[in-house]
Each structure stands twice: as C-alpha cells, then as structure tokens.
Amino acid sequence: MFRILVALIVCFSSLSSYVAKDYSHLIGMQGFSDSLLEMHFKLYAGYVKNANFLLGELKAMKDVNSYEFGAFKRRLGWEFDGMRLHELYFDNLGGKSPIDKKSPFYQALIAQFGSFDTWKKDFIATGMIRGIGWSLLYLDLESGALINVWINEHDTGHLVRGQPILIMDVFEHAYMPQYGLDKMKYIDAFFNNINWDVVSSRFEVKR
C-alpha cells in the first residue's frame, strides 16, 4: 500500500503542463474551411494555455483565503472544460464512414430512442437552441441511459457521472465565420464528418 501511495505521489508531482494537441489532419475536411479550422485550433490552444496558467498560479498561491484564489478557482472550470470539450469535439470529427448499424452504440440508440433518426432529430434540436454552448450526447454511467444535453458556456450543465459520447460545438466561432447565421448548414456539415468509430469506442469502453 505504501509503495502505491509513493508511486502516486511521484506521478502527480511530475505531471507537466497540458500541451495543445495537433489537429492539422482535419484541414481539408469537407464543409469546414481551412481558415475556420485554423482559427478554431488557435482558440483551443488558448484554453490550454489559460488552464496551465491558472493551475500554476493556484499551486503557487499562498493565501487560500484571498480574492484572487477564489476568482482563479472559479475561472478554472471555464478554461479547463473549454480545453477538454474542444479536444473531444475535434477527436470525433474527420470520419468518412457511416455509423456501424451492428455496433452496440447504434443498437443502444435504437433501443432508447426508437430509431436513429429520432435520436438525431433530438440532438440537432438541442444544438439549435438559441445561445452559445454545446450539444452533447451523454452516457449516464449509473443507469446506462443516453441523454442529449445542452451545455451552456463550458462549465455549466454537465451531468454528474455522465460520460461524453458525441460533442458538437455550437458557439458562434464554430460556424459563423463560414456559415453566418445558418447554424443548420453547419450542423449538416458536422454530421457529414463525424468519426463514428471514435464515438462508438467512447460508448463501448465506458459501459
């Protein structure tokens, strides 16, 4: 037991800063202009930078009762979740094959929503909600339920014990530079580029 604790302490103390992942392989993706993606990658890198900054400042902060400590703690969720949500979003893009109708994930969608189209309609309607945010398909790890959820900002609306399965960014920066106010056209492009293998693996690993 002592050796395990020592190993954990060494592991955590040696953690380096988060590094922005390279998503340049998505350049050239149909329906997403290169300029839109490059802008989005830079925005994502900003979240990584700010998450590292806040974690570093909090680690070095001596006065845990200070205003700065509370303000940085509150801000951390925004920057960290912004980093992670963008990674999940970019990771579930770049696909060229349709969803495998024999996969456990597809079968679960059918069982819970009645049909793939019914689930898709609900997911799209979630993404079309007015405002900035995210449309997420969550797997409730307690019940096994699949739930489409609207995430307001980055850090508000997450489901406790919910595993993100499919993530769609519907902040204005994700589509307006290319599609203007036509969010639906962007969503069509998003669905045409979903990497269903990645999405299915998230479901199957966490069940």
pLDDT single digits (tens) 167-178: 999 999 999 999
Residue 33 has pLDDT above 60, yes or no: yes
Q: Does residue 162 belong to any structural domain of this protein?
A: yes
Q: Does residue 42 belong to any structural domain of this protein?
A: no
**For position 207, what pLDDT does the model report?**
54
Q: Does residue 197 belong to any structural domain of this protein?
A: yes
Q: Does residue 89 belong to any structural domain of this protein?
A: no
| Domain assignment of residue 200, given as a range | 104-206
Q: Does residue 129 belong to any structural domain of this protein?
A: yes
Higher pLDDT, 120 or 7: 120
Q: Does residue 4 belong to any structural domain of this protein?
A: no
Q: Does residue 148 belong to any structural domain of this protein?
A: yes
Work out the pLDDT band at 206, boundaries 50, 70, 90. Answer: low
Q: Does residue 120 belong to any structural domain of this protein?
A: yes
Residue range 111-133: mean pLDDT, rounded: 97
Residues 100, 199 contacting (CB under 8 angstroms): no
Average pLDDT of the residues of the chain: 92
Number of domains in the chain: 1
CATH number of the domain to which 135 belongs: 3.55.40.20
What residues are paired with 84 via a beta bridge? none
Work out the pLDDT band at 205, boundaries 50, 70, 90. Answer: low
Closest CA relative to residue 169, chosen from 45, 46, 77, 82: 82
pTM of the model: 0.90
